[in-house]
Amino acid sequence: MTTFATGTTKPETEIQRLLETAALYLHIPFCHTRCYYCDFNTYAGILPMREPYVRALLTEIELAGEMARLPDGSPRRSRTIFFGGGTPSLLSVEQISRLLDACRSAFAVDEDAEITLEANPGTLTQEQLEGLRRAGINRLSMGAQSYDAHLLKTLGRIHTPEEITQAVHYARAAGFTSINLDFMFGLPGQTMQHWRDTLEQALELHPEHFSLYSLIVEEGTPFYKWVEEKRIVPGDEDLCADMYEYADEHLRVAGYQNYEISNWALPGHQSKHNLTYWQNLPYIGMGAGAYSFFDGKRFSNEREPREYIKQLKARTLPIVESETVSLEQAMAETSFLALRTAQGLHLPTFEQRFSLPFARFVGDRLQLVEEAGLLEHENGWLRLSKKGRLLGNEVFLRLLPD
Ligand code: SF4
């Protein structure tokens, strides 16, 4: 695992090199309407604010680039950029291009960086996708959610099943070779047959990546109220487990690897950006309400777009909360985030990163779950066993500091 940086005589481990990078996340908080289950920091009815927001984001990128410079004054390296939301595809190609140019000026963005844009299938045109590809976006992540028209309405989504297929065809014609589709299970009224049909139709599109999430009913959403009023009933735990297993089996047969609990990819198409989070590596989130983990601290931005714009007009980084991550916390988080992935935790890398063997950090806290067969060791890797994947929380809780 130890490699040496080219062009330098100073030996450097791979993990040290990665710890000196920062993944970039840009939050675009606009949506046409609010989906009934959504609790993201996103707003309907503020589309006229797009240009002032983009200008504020350009300022934040510049300031964040300054803040993140290396000790020798050179810009921080970035391997990935992710436009998330919200619905980033509601920005024009020209606005996305300006944001990308700003990232490239403020950070040392790799030539072959993975640059993802989240898109809503109902908002995409062929021309726009061609423009996005030319601007440098090389990965699309689409919130498809279901191939059932009735379930899409239940969720409050604005697109139709036909628009999912059309959007993928447009994206292929525009030259996209890396596409993720998000789907949800455990939805009110969703049967196993709905789920089978959705996956079958999605597989016909041959996306390179799938993210499959079970519905979480978040407080403050219309869904939460409707569940309380017993107007809707989400899928129960058993049905969700069956849907998950069905998907896993079928996607594996189709050549996808389940590289993280909720994510499947064809070889070579794992999301580099999301792996940054699971490897607990630094990232800088920009935009209203965005979160960062950088320089040993976790911090978050002002959530409200108007207030966010105001602070950037005054050229102030809009950070509202910040906490220093203790060494103990960093070791725990690095361990359980890695255990979410199929590869697991690489124990020699853990030791290089924290100058402490994992066994010393964990003591006998994992003894019971090891004896219960929830963990397995292989060539320096520690990972959840098949049984452990169903009972992951039992392991994760034992890693947290007291
Ligand atoms: S499109 Fe996505 S971000 Fe926007 S409201 Fe729906 S779920 Fe939330």
89-111 per-position pLDDT tens digit: 999 999 999 999 999 999 999 99
Q: How far is the CA of 194 from the centre of ligand 1 (A)?
A: 22
Q: Which CATH number fits domain 327-396: 3.40.228.10, 1.10.10.920, 1.10.10.10, 1.25.40.80?
A: 1.10.10.920
Q: How far is the CA of 220 from the centre of ligand 1 (A)?
A: 14
**Model confidence over 3-42: pLDDT tens digits?**
333 333 353 789 999 999 999 999 999 999 999 999 999 9
Count other Cβ atoms within 10 Å, centred on residue 53. Answer: 24
Segment 76-92 mean pLDDT: 97
CB of 335 sitting under 6 A from ligand 1: no
- Ligand 1 mutation pick, 38, 47, 124, max ligand atoms within 8 A of CB: 38
* Residue-range domain boundaries for the chain: 11-278, 327-396
Q: How far is the CA of 347 from the centre of ligand 1 (A)?
A: 38
CB of 213 sitting under 6 A from ligand 1: no
Same fold, 11-278 and 327-396: no
Segment 168-186 mean pLDDT: 98
Q: Which CATH number fits domain 11-278: 2.40.33.10, 3.40.50.2300, 3.40.50.970, 3.20.20.70?
A: 3.20.20.70
**Model confidence over 316-375: pLDDT tens digits?**
999 999 999 999 999 999 999 999 999 999 999 999 999 999 999 999 999 999 999 999
**Model confidence over 339-354: pLDDT tens digits?**
999 999 999 999 999 9
| Residue with CA at minimum distance from ligand 1 atom 6 | 35
**Model confidence over 65-76: pLDDT tens digits?**
999 999 999 999
| Residue with CA at minimum distance from ligand 1 atom 5 | 34
- Interatomic CA distance for residues 190 and 146, integer angstroms: 10
Nearest ligand 1 atom to alpha carbon 33: 5
CB of 235 sitting under 6 A from ligand 1: no
CB of 87 sitting under 6 A from ligand 1: yes
pTM higher than 0.85: yes
CB of 35 sitting under 6 A from ligand 1: yes
